[in-house]
């Protein structure tokens, strides 16, 4: 027993440093995005770049750049070969204009606005339902803040577009028949329209409605077969064959979700009408590979939203039952979220 205790103590001594300096990885990766390291390597046509070439291209001093690269190579973000640095599957997601880029989401979560509420997380835990961490920091909730700060609203919409570019291909792969028999879909809380643009491209028979707050859809780009409509999902949702909600309901407490879902249920029409929810799920099984991501997202909800949370399957079933759906299915896809199909 003493030997086991000594081994556990040694592991704890190593592990605690990861929590003390947990911000370092985010900070250095943010630095890499802002410097444009992945973009420079991608533009080099797949050939390795030496430190000298990289520092010249980025107009950086070689010494601190070397230390940045040494750290990120150790974290497998980049790879160092005998002839220079190259991309890895991780750093390909840092290319700012890549199809699977996650750069904008990291820039959102590492922004001063989103980092500051973590300093007030204990306030929310002590005073649950009285003052959220974001409100304690900024004096208003996330959505009010975004409405009054266009630059942060853009960061928020760009970050959500990142998640869409990762999730929609996984939806197509994992649930290819999702839109069979569906002619029109309204993307509720669709942001800048990235999700619905990807959906109508993947399913050529679809017509889409991108629905969000007026100040959000005002920045959306025109797209064939997509109409942008501003409004309030707590009051009404445009009529369609299907209502689609991706990474929306986890922002809200149960009663708000039930209200949104009831409104969406009333908005869908036709024999094949349904509400499609794409959101994370808390799974207790150790072998579930996205368990840690789900638990981290739950902490994000606590820090940034008014009582939003990630839910277990039982918690999802509860709000779907309360919203009046007769049946629903849960389908895993090769990504963090599940696809939930709910029928009136």
Give the position of tokens 């997202």: 297
Long-range contacts of 18-26 (CB under 8 A, 24+ apart): 25/75, 26/106, 26/109, 26/110
Residue 314: C-alpha distances to residues 121, 281, 284 (Å):
26, 10, 12
Task: Give the residue carrying structure tokens 């997509």.
Answer: 226
Active site residue 250: yes
Q: Evaluate whether 162 touches 105 at the Cβ level (below 8 Å).
A: yes
User: Is 31:67 a contact under the CB 8 Å cutoff?
Assistant: no
- How far out from the chain centre does Cα 126 lie? 27
Are 239 and 188 a contacting pair, CB within 8 Å? no
Pairing of strands 84-87, 78-81: antiparallel
β-pairing, 274-279 vs 338-343, is antiparallel
Per the CB < 8 A criterion, the answer to whether 174 and 333 are in contact is yes
**The dihedral of CA 15, 19, 24, 30: what is its sign?**
positive
State the Cα angle at 167 between 28 and 214, rounded to 5°.
Answer: 90
Catalytic residue among 138, 228, 250, 304: 250
Separation between Cα atoms, residue 145 and residue 59, nearest integer Å: 35
Active-site residues, by number, are 250
């Amino acid at each position: 027993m003493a030997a086991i205790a000594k081994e556990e103590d040694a592991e704890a001594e190593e592990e605690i440093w990861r929590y003390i300096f947990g911000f370092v990885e985010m900070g250095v990766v943010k630095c890499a995005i802002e410097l444009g390291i992945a973009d420079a390597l991608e533009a080099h046509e797949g050939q390795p770049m030496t430190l000298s070439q990289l520092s010249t291209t980025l107009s950086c001093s070689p010494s601190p750049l070397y230390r940045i690269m040494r750290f990120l190579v150790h974290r497998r973000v980049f790879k160092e070969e005998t002839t220079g640095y190259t991309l890895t599957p991780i750093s390909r997601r840092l290319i700012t204009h890549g199809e699977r880029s996650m750069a904008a989401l990291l820039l959102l979560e590492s922004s001063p606005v989103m980092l500051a509420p973590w300093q007030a997380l204990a306030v929310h835990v002590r005073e649950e339902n009285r003052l959220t961490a974001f409100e304690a920091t900024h004096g208003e909730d996330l959505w009010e803040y975004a409405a009054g700060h266009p630059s942060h609203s853009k960061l928020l919409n760009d970050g959500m577009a990142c998640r869409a570019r990762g999730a929609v291909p996984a939806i197509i792969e994992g649930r290819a028949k999702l839109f069979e028999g569906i002619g029109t879909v309204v993307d509720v809380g669709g942001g800048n329209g990235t999700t619905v643009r990807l959906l109508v491209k993947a399913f050529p028979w679809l017509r889409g409605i991108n629905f969000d707050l007026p100040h959000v859809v005002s920045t959306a780009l025109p797209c064939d077969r997509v109409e942008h409509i501003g409004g309030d999902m707590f009051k009404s949702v445009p009529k369609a064959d299907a209502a689609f909600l991706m990474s929306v309901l986890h922002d809200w407490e149960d009663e708000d979700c039930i209200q949104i879902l009831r409104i969406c249920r009333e908005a869908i029409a036709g024999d094949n009408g349904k509400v499609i929810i794409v959101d994370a799920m808390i799974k207790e099984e150790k072998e579930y590979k996205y368990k840690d991501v789900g638990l981290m997202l739950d902490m994000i909800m606590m820090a940034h939203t008014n009582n939003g949370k990630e839910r277990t399957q039982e918690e999802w079933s509860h709000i779907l039952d309360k919203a009046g759906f007769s049946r629903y299915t849960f389908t895993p896809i090769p990504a963090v979220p599940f696809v939930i199909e709910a029928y009136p």
